[in-house]
Amino acid sequence: MLSRELSLYLEHQVRVGFFGSGVGLSLILGFSVAYACYYLSSIAKKPQLVTGGESFSRFLQNHCPVVTETYYPTVWCWESRGQTLLRPFITSKPSVQYRNELIKTADGGQISLDWFDNCNSRCYMDATTRPTILLLPGLTGTSKESYILHMIHLSEDLGYRCVVFNNRGVAGENLLTPRTYCCANTEDLETVIHHVHSLYPSAPFLAAGVSMGGIQLLILAHTSSQGCEIEPHVRLCAGHRHMFVKQIDMDHVMKAKSIREFDKRFTSVMFGYQTIDDYYTDASPNRRLKSVGIPVLCLNSVDDVFSPSHAIPIETAKQNPNVALVLTSYGGHIGFLEGLWPRQSTYMDRVFKQFVQAMVEHGHELSSM
């Protein structure tokens, strides 16, 4: 008992002496000032805006100013791995009521589309002319991902309609044919685009892709981060294993320890590539960037853990007036957290909202420049 009381007394005296003398407070203030100086001088920076033409650059500066403003990453979580890992847990998931539609493909398969019709839109009450935003999640992502829900919430505020393209087999629908998807194959995406456009031919039509979804858009355009994990894709194949056993050695596939091994044993075989390098070459959007014929904005962080900065095609982008790259110093992979407690919005969300609004309301300026 005496020992416990002595311990508490000494602890109290040390605490009082440390802070009461002002030494502790001075250390805390000194550290805070030093950290603030380091953050403002080295962490908070304006993104690098790379465009292939002055017209697109002026358009973005006038109608999408966020791409030229200083990006302030969350002060306690600006490192790439922290941004990447924490976003799914920190950001909120707005409630969205979807209308599901299953459409057939030429090979007998089916694609699940989740619609947010925004029937209460006050800006675009006529459904036939209501702007439509096609959203493409990342690898194994669905319409339930937090970043997709935030894009829909922002689109709802603007009065737009959204439709989410779920890749085959990831959204709970049955896989009807022994085929999934990959970065290089855009047949399903083309089917979806033709279907959506046929439903609303008079409505402005835009698309936004995240991670693998962005790669597919860039390849199809001929677009914010790229990268992938092995475990979710292996789980996807395990759930539909019976569909592939006749053409692929699934026991060998399930033993894959890396995404390269998985692509070598499964993806490249399924889509008829001779080697894994042939698949990766075909899946790379960099060589197609020169021929992109529509305005495309690509957001990427140079500290992305999955997409190294040296792989970003800066010089190629400079050769195409339809392409703009927005490169932040920090942000991780689909992170871009900002603010003290980034629950409601991220830098990526603000870029998305300003750009789609700029294209819907002022896109005609690009054709006249």
Strand pairing category for 132-136 and 205-209:
parallel
Asked if 327 and 302 count as a contact pair (C-beta separation under 8 A), the reply is yes
**CA separation for the pair 248, 267 (Å, rounded):** 10
The Cα 268–Cα 262 span in angstroms is: 9
- Summarize the chain as % helix, strand, coil (round to 5): 45, 15, 40
Cβ burial 66-98 (10 Å sphere, 16+ → b, else e)? bbeeebbbbeebbbbebbbbbbeebbeeeebeb
Residues tagged active-site: 211, 304, 333
Task: Check residue 122 and report its DSSP letter.
Answer: S
Beta pairing, strands 161-166 & 110-116: antiparallel
* DSSP per-residue letters across 15-42: HHHHHHTSHHHHHHHHHHHHHHHHIIII
